[in-house]
Amino acid sequence: MLEQPLSRDRLYPRVEMDHPNGRGINLTVDVDDVDQIHATLLAVGHEMRLPLEERWYERTVDAVGVRQFAVQDPDGYLLRISQHLGVRPR
């Protein structure tokens, strides 16, 4: 996912555009068990850039749901770990 912020909310205020150069890149990684990966990363001390959440993204006639969280890798890339929850009417 390539994004440009329209407002200063959620992830963008925390990620300044300076070294390391990966900052500002948001990569989504689809997984089967987001809770297990989240627990593992917390157990080894990774800071969450976006806490684990359930979010529904509205489209024209429906909404797609995900459970997701975000961490930043050592090069500055923002990794959004995401599990698909399904689709529902809007």
DSSP assignment string, 57-85: EE-SSEEEEEEEEEEE-TTS-EEEEEEEE
Give the range of the structural domain holding residue 68, as residue numbers without chain letter: 12-89
Residue 78 included in any domain: yes
Nearest Cα to 65, choosing from 39, 44, 89? 89
Residue 54 included in any domain: yes
* CATH code for the domain in which residue 30 is found: 3.30.720.110
CB 14 within 8 A of CB 23: no
**Rounded to two decimals, what is the model's pTM?**
0.74
* Burial status of residue 81 (CB atoms within 10 A of its CB: 0-12, 13-18, 19 or more): buried
Flag whether pLDDT at 2 surpasses 90. Answer: no
Q: What is the pLDDT of residues 5-58, one digit of tens each?
A: 566 666 655 555 566 666 667 899 999 999 999 999 999 999 999 999 999 999
Confidence of residue 83 (pLDDT cuts 50, 70, 90): very high
Residue 7 included in any domain: no
Residue 5 included in any domain: no
Residue 77 included in any domain: yes
Q: What is the pLDDT of residues 54-77, one digit of tens each?
A: 999 999 999 999 999 999 888 788
Residue 1 included in any domain: no
How many independent structural domains does the chain possess? Answer: 1
